[in-house]
């Protein structure tokens, strides 16, 4: 299993002084998939990326990226990866085009090849117009796009994206997501860290929740959501008698008398909804409004990592 | 994933050339630093020739004592100061660079790592050559009259490049060891001051015993005496070997220290 993984890690440990950041982390990422490491600030996401991208060395455990051991073959790992993140960046004094050309030169692309690659990437990332301006004048979204474009110059097989959309406006964030989807379609493996549940839900094939340097859960978004109860249907009634009748009839419900609402546990499937509505119609109970709530990753995250306030202190 | 182990090649020369282009572009984009660095020795030159020159020149003794003679005496020290000013800029730009995220990117790339540093070293040497040309030009305008012929000038240029090479490696280490840009601009200050505590601005035999001992044994004195000898046609003697020895020690020490610092655990 391990030999075919794009990224695998066993028992990774890392401490800075007394502070244990990673406490025995195991990972396994299949090639050509998006794997998302999800956690609050200070949970150990960036440290994991630094370890896997050979920026720092682990205190214990081992990891392989693109088939190479990060501790014993760091150069082979570096030749196969690209890193874009909070700590990886662009040269502010150079223009966008010069930044890309710098990468092309460092990957020893020929003059013509390099020029083509730079022009393609500028075009693909919508930076052609700003190509001649210094990167220091770029907006946040443009910088991230340039950053990712620089990572792609060397056609890496494994890409680490460390919080690629933190601080971006919603439109830039969606643009970044689109780019990630295109990369995966080309067969690249993406290791994505994020503190946004929505982002992991949108992009990731598998999601790992990390808390205090340990994995607390791992699976597909659907698998994780199933682990947490909380799906329900919210019914709103026109008057108190309707509410009363429905509550009596449906049994196990949570009442909100002031809002004239009932919370009925449900998996949110069409069949369950149809049964519920038929039942209410049979009793001639009037319903004003109905909304379905499936558990989202927020519920999963809060349920599995405990008190979110502790996280903020730890970060 | 393929686990076949193909030999991974490094291209230190090609990567160094790429990094040199990067550093030269930085200098072009940020010209105020270059201007400031060449301005400092020129200000000192004007100060020492026109403000102190008359008095200091009289103190040198001899029949033609005066401002003109002092200009000749002080010019080699000012020329050396041009180099120390340049390397102060090297330390600052290395420290600024290390704080940039792009260095972390270079560390995750399969490149010859030393090229990040050699780019700075060669870039600073180019900058030093330009500054030296400007400062020597101004010195000639304010009365510096060297007796050197073409051969001596070539030897002096080569010698200055060796001195620059050694001090730049030291500055690259100082820039990396600095936690902030402020520290980076302060750390090389002793190097800027050392010519004053040597034979740069006054003969060492005019100094009190303790200082004189220090002045005669510190590296800048043989360096200045060698340069003075080449430009003014004076006897150099053992100074050349002492100066080159010091340069070799400083260059090697600076290089090894820089390399060690660059390869230490990333802590950004």
Q: What residue spans of A153-196 are helical by DSSP H?
A: 170-185
Q: Please state the rounded mean pLDDT for residues A61-71.
A: 93
Q: Is A1 a residue whose pLDDT tops 50?
A: no
pLDDT in tens, chain B (268 residues): 444 455 688 899 999 999 999 999 999 988 888 898 999 999 999 999 999 988 888 888 766 678 888 999 999 999 999 999 999 999 999 998 888 888 889 999 999 989 999 999 999 999 999 999 999 999 999 989 999 899 999 999 999 999 999 999 999 999 999 988 889 988 988 888 888 888 888 888 888 989 999 998 899 999 999 999 999 988 888 999 999 999 999 999 999 999 999 988 765 4
Q: Check if CATH label 3.40.50.300 holds for domain A2-90+138-226.
A: yes
Do residue B101 and residue A89 have CB atoms under 8 angstroms apart? yes
Q: What torsion do the CA atoms of A150, A153, A154, A160 make, to the nearest 10 degrees? A: 40
| pLDDT of amino acid A168 | 81
> Going by C-beta distance under 8 Å and a sequence separation of 6 or more, which residues neighbour residue A15?
A21, A59
Is residue A142 within 8 A of residue A174, CB to CB? The reply is no
Q: How many CB atoms lie within 10 A of CB B151?
A: 9
| Both structure tokens of B64 | 């033609």
**CB atoms < 10 A from the CB of A259, how many?**
11
Query: In the 3-class helix/strand/coil scheme, how is chain B assigned residue by residue?
Result: CCCCCCCCCCCHHHHHHHHHHHHHHHHHHCHHHHHHHHHHHHHHHHHHHHHCHHHHHHHHCCCCCCHHHHHHHHHHHHHHHHHHHHHHHHHHHHHHHHHCHHHHHHHCCCCCCHHHHHHHHHHHHHHHHHHHHHHHHHHHHCCCCCCCCHHHHHHHHHHHHHHHHHHHHHHHHHHHHCCCHHHHHHCCHHHHHHHHHCCCCCCHHHCCHHHHHHHHHCCHHHHHHHHHHHHHCCCCCCHHHHHHHHHHHHHHHHHHHHHHHHHCCCCC
Q: Do A55 and B107 touch (CB under 8 A)?
A: yes
Asked whether the beta carbons of residue B108 and residue A88 sit closer than 8 angstroms, the reply is: yes
Percent pLDDT > 90 in chain A is 45
Give A89: exposed, middle or buried? Use CB within 10 Å, 0-12, 13-18, 19+: buried
Using alpha carbons only, what angle is made at residue A13 by residues A12 and A19, rounded to the nearest 5 degrees? 150
Length reported for chain B: 268
Quote the pTM value: 0.82
Domain annotation covers residue B6: no
Residue B268 lies in a domain: no
Q: How many CB atoms lie within 10 A of CB B217?
A: 12
Q: Which domain holds residue B33?
A: 12-53+62-263
Residue B49 lies in a domain: yes
Phi, psi of B252 (to 5 degrees): -65, -45
Alpha-carbon distance A181 to nearest alpha carbon in chain B (angstroms): 21
Q: Considering CB atoms only, which of B104, B109, B268 is closest to A78?
A: B109
> Residues of B near A (CB-CB distance < 8 A)?
1-3, 5, 8, 11, 14-15, 18, 21-22, 25-26, 29-30, 100-102, 104-111, 265-266, 268
What does CATH list as the number for A232-294? 3.30.70
Which has more confidence, A304 or A5?
A: A5
Q: Mean pLDDT highest for which of A193-202, A274-283, B181-190, B240-249?
A: B240-249
B256 part of a folded domain: yes
Count of helices and strands (H, E) across chain A: 12, 14
Tokens of B242: 């002492």
**If you measure CA to CA, which chain A residue comes closest to B28?**
A93
Task: Please list every residue in chain B whose beta carbon sits closer than 8 Å to the beta carbon of residue A150.
Answer: 105
Residue A312 has pLDDT above 50, yes or no: no
Give the separation between CA A72 and CA B223, rounded to whole angstroms. Answer: 45
**Which is nearest to A134 in space by CA: B68, B262, B28?**
B28
Question: What pLDDT, on a 0 to 100 scale, did the predictor assign at position B257?
Answer: 96
Task: Report the pLDDT value the prediction gives residue A310, as an integer from 0 to 100.
Answer: 43
pLDDT of residue B266: 63
Tally the residues of chain A. Answer: 315
For residue B100, which residues of chain A lie inside 8 Å, CB to CB? Answer: 89, 91-92
Which of A67, A78, A90 faces B3 most closely, judged by CB atoms? Answer: A67
Closest among A184, A208, A248 to A26, alpha carbons compared: A208
Contact B144, B74 (CB under 8 A): no
What is the torsional sign of CA A94, A97, A103, A105? negative
Q: Map out the domains of chain A as residue ranges.
A: 2-90+138-226, 232-294
Sheet of strand A232-236, all strands in order from the earlier edge strand to the far edge: A254-256, A261-265, A232-236, A289-293
CB spacing of A55 vs B3 below 8 angstroms: no
Token pair listed for A157: 């097989």
3-state secondary structure of A235: strand
Q: Is A208:A300 a contact under the CB 8 Å cutoff?
A: no
How many distinct structural domains can be found in chain B? 1
How far does B7 lie from chain A, in Å, by closest CA?
9
- Whether this model's ipTM surpasses 0.90 comes out as no
Tokens of A225: 């959501």
Give the range among A117-131, A263-277, B216-230, B244-258 with minimum mean pLDDT.
A263-277
Task: Answer yes or no: do B108 and A6 touch at CB < 8 A.
Answer: no
Distance CA B141, CA B149 (A): 18
Pairs across A and B, CB distance < 8 A: 81
């Amino acid at each position: 299993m391990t030999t075919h993984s794009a990224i695998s890690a066993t028992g990774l440990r890392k401490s800075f002084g007394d502070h244990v950041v990673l406490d025995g982390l195991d990972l396994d990422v299949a090639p050509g998939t998006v794997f998302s490491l999800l956690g609050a600030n200070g949970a150990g996401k960036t440290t994991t990326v630094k370890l896997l991208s050979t920026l720092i060395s682990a205190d214990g455990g081992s990891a392989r990226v693109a088939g190479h051991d990060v501790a014993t073959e760091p150069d082979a790992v570096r030749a196969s990866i690209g890193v874009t993140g909070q700590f990886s960046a662009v040269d502010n004094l150079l223009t966008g085009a010069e930044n890309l050309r710098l990468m092309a030169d460092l990957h020893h692309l020929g003059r013509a090849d390099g020029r083509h690659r730079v022009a393609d990437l500028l075009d693909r990332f919508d930076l052609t117009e700003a190509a001649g301006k210094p990167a220091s004048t770029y907006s946040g979204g443009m910088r991230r796009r340039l950053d990712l474009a620089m990572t792609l110059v060397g056609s890496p097989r494994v890409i680490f994206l460390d919080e690629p959309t933190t601080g971006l406006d919603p439109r830039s964030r969606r643009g970044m997501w689109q780019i990630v989807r295109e990369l995966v379609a080309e067969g690249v493996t993406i290791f994505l860290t994020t503190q946004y549940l929505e982002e992991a839900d949108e992009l990731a094939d598998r999601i790992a929740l990390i808390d205090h340097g340990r994995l607390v859960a791992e699976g597909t978004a659907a698998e994780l959501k199933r682990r947490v109860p909380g799906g329900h249907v919210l019914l709103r009634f026109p008057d108190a008698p309707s509410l009363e009748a429905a509550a009596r009839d449906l049994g196990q419900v949570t009442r909100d008398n002031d809002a004239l609402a009932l919370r009925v546990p449900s998996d949110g499937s069409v069949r369950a909804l149809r049964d519920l509505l038929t039942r209410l119609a049979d009793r001639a109970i009037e319903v004003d409004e109905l909304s379905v709530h499936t558990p989202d990753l927020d519920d999963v995250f809060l349920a599995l990592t405990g008190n979110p306030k502790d996280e903020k202190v730890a970060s | 994933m393929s686990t076949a182990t193909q030999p991974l090649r490094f291209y230190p020369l090609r990567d160094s050339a790429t990094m040199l282009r990067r550093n030269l572009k930085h200098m072009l984009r940020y010209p105020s630093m270059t201007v400031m660095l060449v301005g400092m020795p020129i200000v000192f030159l004007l100060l020492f020739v026109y403000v102190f020159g008359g008095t200091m020149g009289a103190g040198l003794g001899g029949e033609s004592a005066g401002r003109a003679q002092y200009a000749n005496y002080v010019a080699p020290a000012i020329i050396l100061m041009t180099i120390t000013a340049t390397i102060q800029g090297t330390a600052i730009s290395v420290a600024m660079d290390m704080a940039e995220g792009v260095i972390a990117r270079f560390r995750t790339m399969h490149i010859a790592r030393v090229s990040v540093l050699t780019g700075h070293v060669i870039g600073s040497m180019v900058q030093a050559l330009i500054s030296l040309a400007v400062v020597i030009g101004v010195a000639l305008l304010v009365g510096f009259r060297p007796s050197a012929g073409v051969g001596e000038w070539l030897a002096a240029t080569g010698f200055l490049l060796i001195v620059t090479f050694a001090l730049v490696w030291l500055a690259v280490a100082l820039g990396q060891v600095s936690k902030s840009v402020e520290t980076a601009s302060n750390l090389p200050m002793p190097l800027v001051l050392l010519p004053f505590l040597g034979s740069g601005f006054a003969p060492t035999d005019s100094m009190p015993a303790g200082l004189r001992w220090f002045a005669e044994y510190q590296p800048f004195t043989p360096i200045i005496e060698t340069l003075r000898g080449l430009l003014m046609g004076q006897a150099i003697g053992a100074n050349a070997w002492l100066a080159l020895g010091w340069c070799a020690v400083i260059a090697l020490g600076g290089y090894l220290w820089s390399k060690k610092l660059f390869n230490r655990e990333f802590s950004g």
